[in-house]
Amino acid sequence: LLYDYWLDKRGQRKFPAWQDIDLLDLWQIASCMIIKDVIGDGVDFMNRYWGTQVTHRAGFDATGKTHREIYKDQPLGPQIDTYLAVYETGMAYSVHRSSSFIAGREFVVFNSLNLPVGKTDDKVEHILIAIDYE
């Protein structure tokens, strides 16, 4: 659902702009979504939205928190590399992994689709993420 929506909204562009996205269109998958705002030049990523299913599976609500704030007392986790890749290349990335980077959640396995969003094709300002848990 998210990938087809993203393709439709981007049109002939490399990726859609934030104003092209209507989150109400994505209500069916909202509980398994994360929306990140890029801070600076990819120095960090702020969670604009953190779905309820993500909260349940991760064991915490990270809405309004930065990636570095969430993982301040532990490794940043492998997903930071995915966010940086999306930011730096402006391309979609899909990953499969466990939550081994979250203490007590090692058993949670998921696929995530990470999609760039920005006003122009040369700067990613947000990342839309849909998570499919196993």
Least confident of 7-16, 48-57, 78-87: 78-87
In tens, the pLDDT along 14-52 reads: 999 999 999 999 999 999 999 999 999 999 999 999 999
- Per-residue confidence (pLDDT) for residue 59, from 0 to 100: 85
Q: Is the pLDDT of residue 109 over 80?
A: no
DSSP 24: G
For the record, the structure tokens of 65 come out as 């928190």
Amino acid at position 23, single letter: L
For residues 63-69, give the mean pLDDT: 93
Helix (H) or strand (E) holding 39: strand 33-39
Q: Is the pLDDT of residue 105 over 70?
A: no
CB within 8 A of 25, min separation 6: which ones?
5
For residues 60 and 70, what is the distance between their CA atoms, to the nearest angstrom? 10
C-alpha dihedral, 26 to 60 to 78 to 30, nearest 10°: 0
pTM: 0.90
Q: Map tokens 């092209």 to a residue.
A: 20
